[in-house]
Amino acid sequence: MPAVPPKPTGDHGEQAWRNCRHGGRYEYTALEADSTAHERMELERKAREQAQSACLHYLRCCPRYSLLQHLNDIGSRVDKHWFIVRDSSIKTERLLTLVPKSPNCPIKCDAETRQVILDLFLALQHPYIYPILDLEFREGAQVSQTFIVLVLPFNTKGSLKDL
């Protein structure tokens, strides 16, 4: 007997199929063709280089931090980039994250907005939330592209969940 019953046909059968086993929670997609995977890897490499360039541009304008390492992907956001930087003011390592601002984001990226958001982050204090130490908006190589830069404490043991 097969592990998964064959998929029935018809409207009633389709509904019954969704309700059994996994309740329709799992969606499966076909594996990508090799050429598509190669194109995706090339796009990811270009995005990584662009993020590193934006990070270096930010660090040239902000001498407080110096780049130590561009980390591999962490978490599930494919467009978010992670860097370890050295905070020269207190001689410690920090985690710098860089993410492109979505074109759908209604927030205006200016000094006033930056200060309001930083004040909100400073007021947000909880043992399970890392504090945001710094926030910047940086223009990318493309005119229409803006990156959001956040600086957080760096923990060598992992995230708060890992502690």
Nearest to 85 by CA among 145, 143, 136, 140: 136
Could you say which of 3.40.50.740, 3.40.50.720, 3.40.30.10, 3.30.200.20 is the CATH number of the domain covering 31-158?
Answer: 3.30.200.20
Computed on alpha carbons and rounded to an integer, the radius of gyration of the chain in Å comes to: 22
What are the sequence ranges of the domains in the chain? 31-158
pLDDT tens digits, one per residue of 7-36: 555 555 555 545 555 555 666 666 556 667
Q: How far apart are CA 98 and CA 137, in angstroms?
A: 10
CB atoms within 10 A of CB 93: 15
- 125-144 pLDDT, tens digit per residue, is 888 888 999 999 987 766 67
